[in-house]
């Protein structure tokens, strides 16, 4: 079960914080490939919209039950100053680690960001003429 919580800001929007298992993303070789938990922060109009943003990114089984671990003031500042309003870091052990954009968490190493597979072929099928 994931721990999490939310806080309503004076403008009416909310910041939702969730502690989730780190999604699998290839062979464990990198710094963050340890099967650890991550703390995800989302800034949105309401709680439902925040959870929908995460589900649309592929984190399907994300639920907020209760308010046991609301975001800290430092976490709120971090997510409000990020242009996407969606950040993560390893949770909660390392307070010195900086926040990362969500695309760094969900990146698939088999297909780099450029849309090409490792062979250099474009992953999109050719259009039929």
Cα–Cα dist 50/126, whole Å: 36
Beta-strand relationship, 14-21 and 3-8: antiparallel
Cα–Cα dist 84/101, whole Å: 8
The pLDDT tens digits of the residues spanning 2-38 come to: 688 999 999 999 999 998 877 665 545 455 456 677 8
* Phi, psi at 54, each rounded to 5°: -70, -40
CB atoms within 10 A of CB 38: 19
Strand 14-21: give its sheet, edge to edge. 3-8, 14-21, 37-44, 86-90, 100-101
The pLDDT tens digits of the residues spanning 44-100 come to: 999 999 999 988 888 877 888 888 899 999 999 999 999 888 998 885 666 777 888
DSSP 8-state code for residue 99: P
């Amino acid at each position: 079960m994931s721990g999490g919580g939310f806080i309503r800001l004076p403008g009416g929007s909310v910041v939702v914080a969730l502690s989730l298992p780190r999604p699998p993303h290839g062979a464990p070789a990198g710094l963050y490939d340890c099967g650890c938990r991550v703390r995800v922060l989302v800034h949105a109009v309401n709680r439902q919209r925040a959870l929908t943003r995460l589900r649309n990114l592929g984190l399907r089984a994300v639920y907020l039950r209760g308010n046991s671990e609301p975001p800290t003031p430092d976490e709120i500042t971090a997510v409000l100053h990020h242009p996407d309003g969606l950040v993560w870091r390893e949770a909660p052990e390392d307070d010195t680690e900086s926040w990362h954009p969500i695309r760094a968490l969900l990146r698939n190493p088999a297909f780099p960001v450029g849309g090409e597979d490792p062979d250099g072929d474009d992953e999109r099928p050719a259009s039929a003429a």
